[in-house]
Structure 1
Amino acid sequence: MARTRLFFTPSMARMDDAAPFSIPRFRERAPWLGPDLQTIRNMLAPRPANPPGAERLLLPVSEGDRLAARLDRPAGAQERPLIVLVHGLTGSEASVNVIATARRLVDDGWPVLRLNLRGSGPSRPTSTGRYHAGRTEDLAAALRALPADLLRRGVILLGHSLGGNLILKFMGEGVGDLPILGAAVVSTPLDLAATCARMMAPRNIVYHRYLLTAMKREALAPGAALTTAQRAAVAGARTVFEFDDRFVAPLFGYRGAEAYYETNSAGAFLAGIGLPTLIVHALDDPWIPQACYDAIDWARLPAIETALSPHGGHLGFHGAGNPVPWHDRVVAGWLRAKFGMRRP
């Protein structure tokens, strides 16, 4: 029987103040059996309640836009780094999986900032532009705009799906003088071209229609600064590839979708990552081909640890014996081991 794979690297051993961490094996919970039911449960489940109390931040980026962020702090004083959580494609701070992760971490004693990318959700009223899979300059600008008291214990980045691609690219490019301690990502498309092709495969026709509809709705939301031609390109796109090729790529100066994917796929940036990073993924993810992960020689990436499960779907991981999604338990355990005991 296939087993969960976790690769611990020397970076963990060098953490003198790190606590021991062992990964629990993932087992699917009935009735969410198989990758598709694991994936769609987030769409069917009631939206969880937000942590009580929150602070709204508006973080300036380029062109006069501001990114909306929600800050949730745990009860009582905690000497913990700030977790900056970034959503996936067409998501926001209100995505089911994002709320669930934030609640888990806040309950565990971490301050969590949910960042809404440019043009998504609560950021749309304060930004006329939009995000893309590798627009890391927005992430850097938002981090630099955070109040000093939130940065003084350091920052750990956490990304879901496309937000994970953005974070891995950012980590691989180099974090500059920002106080980044590490990163964790879940269900991340390391190869954007391969992921797009997989999304358009016949077995994913329902997912594809759902996602394309959401992408169009997000792009055309009131407040988006688009020309008539751009609006027509969005409305006329019949596939995710056409949406990226006719709208996203030219909007950001790429000659087409292929160039956009090649330039922004996180897999090409993994070798540049020098800070502790955790990658959590299900190899049966129906949206992301397993080959994207099999192609990486993880042993040659000493800063990266991976928790690769045979099962779990896309941002699913609804496991037996525990109502908390497995990826949230894995990330929380890794954070405690790496940074939870870190002295301020």
Structure 2
Amino acid sequence: MGDCELLKRLAVPSFEPLPGLHSCYGQTIAASYWPQKINLKPDSWLNLRLSDGDRLFICENWPDQSMRDHLVVMVHGLTGDYRSGYLSRLARKLVALGYPVFRVNMRCAGPAAHLASGIAHAGRSEDLRQIIARLQSIYPAMAISLIGFSLTANTALKMAGEEGEQCPLHSLVAISPPVDLLACSQWVRQHGPLFDPYFTRRLVALAKQLMKQDTTFDWHSIDGIYAFDEKFTAPSCQFESAEDYYHKASALPLMPQIRVPTLLLGSRDDPVVDNRVLSGLNNPQLDLLLTELGGHMGFMALPTQGRELRWMDQLLLRWFVEQDHC
């Protein structure tokens, strides 16, 4: 379906950037630092022990009334956690619409970060599979949908592709997913000079927590995301190399096998993700929307004529409610 058809179907105005935020860098940075009410405290916690012994702490938020029989799992992006602004903001909006929301802390994130023996990476679809299975066992009468952001959006798409017809999800949303990890590692190096070192510093800080007893590792040789994956992610997660990791963890080859309704939102000017790889992708279950502008998970819009400032939220929520009525 074309972009215009999807927006018309959802009654969402096309994206128009907020004045002064036409650059991909401005959009990406403003979305993270724009003032917002995001202090959504957990109502309760779910402690999940994974099959390899690592633990994930999952933050639960429940509607006060008029609860739907449909829960939403949200997973943060690279180096984030359940407190990430986009998760808290969207959780508040979803809860207000009656959805129970579960914000997942992936490995090395959130309250259980110190309990992790391995780092999160883009290919850990088995972790998501175990999360969904646990929630199904606790709430067997409830439908489950999944929203992934950035790196974990790739993980979510990978899981849905692997499961095919057996996928347990009601629906799936992927925001700015790097579905071809090799292409994206090259893209961010060339087009995201602010973000490659930023994410690298945060990744190195997480890795140091895991390797606090090892003083021999040469951290100074890591000068970008590719180098981090080559020297740390690959050997610590049983991949032969960064390129082996990228090949095995990328969702793109599996996306034609997705059989659940899926919304994928990205922008062509994303400084982190190379969305050119999505050209030619054909799957009737996929609502693919690529805006010309918007940055990486930015989409800060001019709030006029029915368009909301947080255009990403507006689109996601309209799509979600539509799927709930299908």
Q: Matched residue of 1:200: which SS?
A: helix
Aligned length: 320
Please name the residue that 1:217 is paired with: 205
Instruction: Output the CA distance in 1 between the equivalents of 2:112 and 2:163.
Output: 26
Q: Deviations over 1:43-67 (max 9, x none)?
A: 4334632335521111110232110
Q: Is the 8 A contact 2:266 2:290 kept in 1?
A: yes
User: Within 5 Å, which residues of 2 pair with 1:300-319?
Assistant: 300-319=282-301
Q: Is the 8 A contact 1:120 1:130 kept in 2?
A: no
Please name the residue that 2:129 is paired with: 140
Select which of 175, 188, 193 maps to 2:182: 193
State the shift of 1:23 in Å. Answer: 3.3
Instruction: Output the CA distance in 1 between the equivalents of 2:92 and 2:176.
Output: 19
Instruction: Output the CA distance in 2 between the equivalents of 1:50 and 1:318.
Output: 20
- Over aligned residues, Cα RMSD in angstroms? 2.3
> Is residue 207 from structure 1 mapped to residue 195 from structure 2 by the alignment?
yes
Instruction: Output the CA distance in 2 between the equivalents of 1:126 and 1:47.
Output: 31
Instruction: Output the CA distance in 1 between the equivalents of 2:212 and 2:42.
Output: 35
Q: Is the 8 A contact 2:3 2:288 kept in 1?
A: yes
Please name the residue that 1:11 is paired with: none
Instruction: Output the CA distance in 2 between the equivalents of 1:7 and 1:122.
Output: 43
User: Within 5 Å, which residues of 2 pair with 1:332-343?
Assistant: 332-339=317-324, 341=325
Give the TM-score normalised by the residue count of structure 1: 0.86
Instruction: Output the CA distance in 1 between the equivalents of 2:69 and 2:157.
Output: 22
Q: Is the 8 A contact 2:165 2:259 kept in 1?
A: no
Please name the residue that 1:17 is paired with: none
Select which of 246, 262, 285 maps to 1:277: 262
Instruction: Output the CA distance in 2 between the equivalents of 1:25 and 1:74.
Output: 30
> Is residue 51 from structure 1 mapped to residue 36 from structure 2 by the alignment?
no
Instruction: Output the CA distance in 2 between the equivalents of 1:177 and 1:227.
Output: 43
Q: Deviations over 1:165-196 (max 9, x none)?
A: 00000000006866411201111111101111
Instruction: Output the CA distance in 2 between the equivalents of 1:71 and 1:23.
Output: 29
State the shift of 1:78 in Å. Answer: 1.2
Identity of matched residues, %: 28
Please name the residue that 1:228 is paired with: 214
Letter in 1 for 2:3: R
Q: Is the 8 A contact 2:164 2:258 kept in 1?
A: no
State the shift of 1:215 in Å. Answer: 0.8
Q: Matched residue of 1:157: which SS?
A: strand
Q: Is the 8 A contact 1:6 1:308 kept in 2?
A: no
Instruction: Output the CA distance in 2 between the equivalents of 1:78 and 1:333.
Output: 18
5+ residue gaps in structure 2?
none
Select which of 222, 226, 232 maps to 1:247: 232
User: Within 5 Å, which residues of 2 pair with 1:72-111?
Assistant: 72-111=61-100
Q: 1:74 to 1:60 in 2, by over 3 A?
A: same
Q: 1:168 to 1:227 in 2, by over 3 A?
A: farther
Instruction: Output the CA distance in 2 between the equivalents of 1:50 and 1:5.
Output: 33
Instruction: Output the CA distance in 2 between the equivalents of 1:60 and 1:273.
Output: 27
Please name the residue that 1:183 is paired with: 172
Please name the residue that 2:277 is paired with: 292
| Higher normalized contact order (CA 8 Å, seq sep 6+, divided by chain length) | 1
5+ residue gaps in structure 1?
9-19
Q: 1:80 to 1:27 in 2, by over 3 A?
A: farther
Letter in 2 for 1:207: F
Q: Deviations over 1:58-110 (max 9, x none)?
A: 11102321101111112203123111101111111111222222222222221
Give the TM-score normalised by the residue count of structure 2: 0.90
